[in-house]
Amino acid sequence: MMNAKIGTIAKFDDQIVTLKGWVYNKRSSGKIKFLMLRDGSGIIQGVLVKGECDDASFEEFEKLTQESSVMVTGKVRKEPRSKVGFELTVHKVETVQIANEYPISLKEHGVEFLMENRHLWIRSQKQWAALRVRSEIMFAIQQFFRERGFMRFDPPILTPTSCEGTSTLFSTPYFDEKAFLTQSGQLYGEAGAFAFGNIYSFGPTFRAEKSKTRKHLTEFWMVEPEMAYGKLPDVMDLGEAFVCSIVKHCLENCQPELVILERNQKELETIVAPFPRITYDEALKVLAKRGMEIPWGEDFGAPHETALGEEFGKPVFIHHFPSSIKAFYFKHADYANGDGVDHDGKYALGADLIAPFGYGEIIGGGQREDKVEVLERRILEHGLSLKDYQWYLDLRRYGSVPHAGFGLGLERTVAWVTGVEHVRETIPFPRMMNHLKP
């Protein structure tokens, strides 16, 4: 008897195999019994027919409850009506454990209840599919950067300072000092870029966001490439190629998952370069045309991002933001002069990528200030301490060069690609403002 996995069952056509898994569902119709079996790699229908199946197993079927663990042996058969293309003619069922009243039945449940039972909820089809896509995207990310010669470079998670402003820092005692959970690996990534050229970091980041929206987590994963000698247009070129490659990878490798998620794949197929690139000022005009005027200098809210996504139906880059709404490290520019001639210009050389269909900003990045005296001034203007950033200023003292990079939020990207409503469904155990358990 051969062990097999449902995900690769096609390799076992016409063979007798053992599948080790759990009961997803079952039903009987007269002399035939149907067992939906899941094994983590997929779901297959097992068919028990008296005579083909041993008598004890035929009886055992009656005791099986949802999520009981079982080992099922039978013959793999082609079945065009099945989602996986195959069925199993069951010869034998061995029970490992009978599950006692599994709390998540196959009917609808409230989100609160499901979140409390997240440790079980991840077994449900859609959750399972979304997390499988997440895992594939993580693979695609590493492949993308490896192919382009970016070295993976790991910034610390415990940090002494802030990167994205002090209002969303989680702090923790650190012996006699205070430490913060990292908001972004960027500042360390810049050091990495000056040592290794092109690098990327990829890991969890933390923000004490008091936002209860479908786009905000307090713990989320970010991938952050940083390019020595990179400038603002390089951020958009790389971000565009990156997002296209993620979508393409999913279309090629996540078919069963996208089907379970009922994702409109036609829509995903339209995600190809080039993406529109507009300035903040142009974005204001687009919004005004759609009846959503906002004063110059204000940041976009969720409705504005949704409207911009709708306008273009494709991911869209917004660049040249008012510097007043951007972090201290952005290089400033006078817009008319383009790339950073006038350092007191009112625009920051930033670029955000807004995903269509209301998923919001998935990339935030730009070109970094590379002059030590300008950066010192900015640190002070932002109420930060020069002492804390001496190491970061060193990067401008010793061989400073233009450099740029971005951060892509993994969960927002997975939410958009899978079409799930809320980012909480794209990470195994979401952490949110009112949610720390399990």
Footprint on this chain of ligand 4AD (rule: CB under 6 A) = 163-164, 184, 186, 207, 209, 216-217, 220, 222, 224, 361-365, 405-407, 409, 411-412, 423
Is 282 strand, coil or helix?
helix
What is the Cα–Cα distance from 318 to 314, expressed in whole angstroms? 13
How far from 204 is each of 3, 104, 222, 224, CA to CA, in Å?
A: 36, 29, 6, 11
x-marked contacts with Mg ion along 22-51 as a string, rule CB under 5 A: ------------------------------
Among residue numbers 246 through 285, which ones bind Mg ion (CB under 5 A)? none
Q: Which residue has the tokens 């028990």?
A: 48
Q: Which does 250 bind (CB under 5 to 8 A by kind): ligand 4AD, Mg ion, none?
A: none
Task: Report yes or no: 181 and 170 within 8 Å, Cβ to Cβ.
Answer: yes
Which among ligand 4AD, Mg ion, none contacts residue 258 (Cβ within 5 to 8 A by kind)?
Answer: none
Nearer to ligand 4AD, 42 or 407 (CB): 407
Q: Which of 11, 174, 155, 15 is nearest to 89 (CA)?
A: 15
CB of 230: closest distance to ligand 4AD in angstroms?
11
Q: Give the residue with the Cβ less far from ligand 4AD, 104 or 384.
A: 384
Q: Which does 79 bind (CB under 5 to 8 A by kind): ligand 4AD, Mg ion, none?
A: none
> What HEC string does 202-234 produce?
EEEEECCCCCCCCCCCCEEEEEEEEEECCCHHH
Q: Which two tokens stand for residue 260?
A: 């379970």
Query: What's the closest the beta carbon of residue 260 comes to ligand 4AD, in angstroms?
Result: 24
List the single partner that 415 binds among ligand 4AD, Mg ion, none, CB under 5 to 8 Å by kind.
Answer: none
Q: Which is nearer to ligand 4AD, 37 or 217 (CB)?
A: 217
Question: What's the min distance (Å) between Cβ of 109 and ligand 4AD?
Answer: 24
Q: Rounded CA gap, 242 and 227, in Å?
A: 14
CA neighbours closer than 13 Å in the CB half-sphere of residue 293:
1
Is the CB of 127 or the CB of 184 nearer to ligand 4AD? 184
Least distance from C-beta 411 to ligand 4AD, angstroms? 5
DSSP-derived letter for residue 368 is B
Q: 87 is in the binding site of which of Mg ion, ligand 4AD, none (Cβ under 5 to 8 A by kind)?
A: none
Distance separating the N- and C-terminal Cα atoms of the chain: 39
Q: Smallest gap, in angstroms, from Cβ of residue 165 to ligand 4AD?
A: 9
* Residue 283 C-beta: closest distance to ligand 4AD, Å: 16
| Residue 362, contacted partner among Mg ion, ligand 4AD, none, CB below 5-8 A by kind | ligand 4AD
76 binds, among ligand 4AD, Mg ion, none (CB under 5 to 8 A by kind): none
Closest CB to Mg ion among 92 and 378?
378
At residue 84, what are phi and psi to the nearest 5 degrees?
A: -90, -5
Helix (H) or strand (E) holding 199: strand 198-206
Tell me: does residue 345 bind Mg ion (CB under 5 A).
Answer: no
Coil, helix or strand for 145? helix
Please say which residue, 71 or 157, places its beta carbon nearer to ligand 4AD: 157
Q: CA 302 → CA 48, 325, 357, distances in Å?
A: 52, 16, 11
Q: Which of residues 348-377 bind Mg ion (CB under 5 A)?
A: 364
The residue (of 284 and 362) whose beta carbon lies closer to Mg ion is 362
**Which residue number, 60 or 411, has a Cβ lying nearer to ligand 4AD?**
411
Q: Which residues of 154-166 are buried (b: 16+ CB within 10 A; e: fewer)?
A: ebeeebebbbbee
- How many Å apart are CA 65 and CA 131, to the nearest integer? 25
The nearest distance, CB 173 to ligand 4AD, in angstroms, is 24
- The closest residue (CB) to Mg ion is 364
CA distance 367 to 331: 6
d(CA 199, CA 189): 7
Cβ-based nearer residue to Mg ion, 78 or 210: 210
CB of 371 vs ligand 4AD, minimal distance in Å = 18
Which residue number, 258 or 354, has a Cβ lying nearer to ligand 4AD? 354
- Amino acid identity, residue 78? K
Helix then strand count (H, E) for the chain reads: 13, 18
Task: Kindly state the DSSP code that residue 299 receives in the 8-state scheme.
Answer: P
Sheet holding 177-181, edge to edge: 158-159, 177-181, 171-174
Instruction: Give the interface with Mg ion as residue ranges (CB under 5 A).
Output: 364
